[in-house]
């Protein structure tokens, strides 16, 4: 019992130191990039000699591969809940979105896995490619053979030891279901299709991490267009677009111009009788022109010229009356 206690304590201490090494390496990569990672820098960060690190990791590359395995495990955690989506096309879309989101949320880890050294990516991608095109029985058989080999070597059969391959097999399984349901041609090579699909997603993430002008629109829009191009637009999105276009068209038909006059509804038998009369009246009725204010002119009794005229008439009338009287006086004289 005492001996087992000492061995367990040493294993715990060894595992704890391994985690410290990986944690220090992860911080260096995230802060300075993978190029800055070195065994001496890790040893300085944890205050151990470089020789101690070599008791746990043979080289810097082995540390990098361990970090990649952690990254694949994080990616697998985002994939597992999506594996239950019934529609394989919608499942692939959800997996694609999760993949891009992982790359955006963990840029340095993504760079380390997919953009630094092909050997860090090759093992998982190669395993997925070998599994593509095999049915479930063949995959289960391969898994059983691998487990038997591990047991013969005294190793525990643990599928989670390769999270990268497990994550990509979730995508392969969705492709197989999509092909079986008729969503892909029967002649489709799933390994090629999976690589092309992954290349599209990787291209979006890589451009987002390295190109300052990408994307010109929102990243979500780019991802949606890419997934719809590969797998077709979602039925829900199509129905929503149809309803929007239908509502717009209906609104346009009901809209009337501001100047349009409302015509009263008449019975069909009266329309033929009244409309010709109305049209005739409209033809005879002159167009109404905008009213203009008439210019005000002075009234006749206010005119200055009317007064002299009146005086002259009065004088003429007086003269006409008095004149005969003068002549009469002259005659009497």
Q: What is the pLDDT of residues 236-253, one digit of tens each?
A: 555 555 555 554 444 444
Residue 71 included in any domain: yes
Q: What is the pLDDT of residues 132-152, one digit of tens each?
A: 444 444 444 443 333 333 333
Q: How confident is residue 22, by pLDDT bands cut at 50, 70 and 90?
A: very high
Residue 212 included in any domain: yes
Count Cβ atoms below 10 Å from residue 286 Cβ, excluding itself: 5
Please check whether residues 174 and 84 belong to one and the same domain.
Answer: yes
Instruction: Give the chain's mean pLDDT.
Output: 73
- In total, how many domains does the chain have? 2
The predicted structure's pLDDT at residue 133: 46
User: Does the pLDDT of residue 230 top 70, yes or no?
Assistant: yes
Alpha carbons 308 and 313: distance in angstroms, whole number: 9
The predicted structure's pLDDT at residue 10: 84
The predicted structure's pLDDT at residue 276: 54
The predicted structure's pLDDT at residue 163: 85
Please check whether residues 28 and 117 belong to one and the same domain.
Answer: no
Q: What is the pLDDT of residues 154-188, one digit of tens each?
A: 343 344 458 888 888 899 999 999 999 999 999 99
The predicted structure's pLDDT at residue 120: 72
Which residue among 233, 261, 295 closes a domain? 233
- Percent of the chain whose pLDDT exceeds 90: 41
Provide the CATH number for the domain around residue 45. Answer: 1.10.10.60
Please check whether residues 73 and 218 belong to one and the same domain.
Answer: yes
The predicted model scores a pTM of 0.60
Please check whether residues 126 and 193 belong to one and the same domain.
Answer: yes
Please check whether residues 220 and 114 belong to one and the same domain.
Answer: yes
Where in the sequence is the domain holding 189, given as residue range(s)?
64-136+160-233
Please check whether residues 123 and 190 belong to one and the same domain.
Answer: yes
Please check whether residues 101 and 44 belong to one and the same domain.
Answer: no
């Amino acid at each position: 019992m005492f001996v087992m206690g000492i061995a367990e304590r040493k294993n715990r201490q060894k595992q704890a130191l391994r985690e410290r090494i990986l944690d220090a390496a992860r911080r260096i990569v995230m802060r300075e990039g993978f190029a800055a990672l070195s065994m001496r820098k890790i040893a300085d960060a944890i205050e151990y000699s470089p020789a101690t690190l070599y008791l746990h990791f043979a080289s810097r590359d082995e540390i990098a591969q361990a970090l990649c395995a952690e990254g694949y495990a994080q990616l697998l955690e985002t994939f597992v809940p999506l594996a239950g989506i019934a529609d394989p096309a919608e499942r692939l879309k959800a997996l694609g979105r999760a993949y891009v989101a992982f790359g955006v949320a963990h840029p340095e880890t993504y760079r380390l896995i997919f953009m630094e050294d092909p050997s860090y990516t090759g093992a998982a991608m190669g395993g997925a490619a070998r599994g593509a095109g095999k049915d479930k029985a063949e995959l289960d058989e391969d898994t059983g053979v691998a487990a038997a080999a591990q047991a013969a070597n005294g190793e525990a059969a643990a599928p989670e030891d390769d999270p990268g391959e497990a994550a990509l097999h979730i995508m392969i399984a969705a492709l197989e279901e999509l092909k079986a349901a008729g969503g892909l041609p029967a002649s489709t090579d799933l390994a090629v299709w999976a690589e092309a699909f992954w290349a599209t997603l990787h291209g979006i993430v890589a451009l987002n991490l390295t190109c300052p002008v990408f994307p010109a629109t929102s990243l979500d829009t780019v991802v949606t267009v890419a997934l719809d191009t590969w797998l077709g637009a979602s039925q829900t999105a199509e129905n929503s677009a149809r309803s929007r276009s239908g509502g717009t068209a209906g609104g346009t038909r009901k809209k009337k111009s501001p100047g349009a006059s409302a015509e009263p509804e008449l019975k069909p038998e009266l329309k033929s009788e009244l409309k010709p009369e109305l049209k005739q009246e409209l033809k005879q009725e002159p167009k109404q022109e905008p009213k203009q204010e008439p210019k005000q002119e002075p009234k006749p009794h206010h005119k200055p010229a009317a007064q002299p005229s009146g005086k002259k008439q009065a004088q003429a009338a007086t003269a006409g009356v008095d004149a005969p009287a003068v002549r009469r006086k002259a005659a009497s004289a």
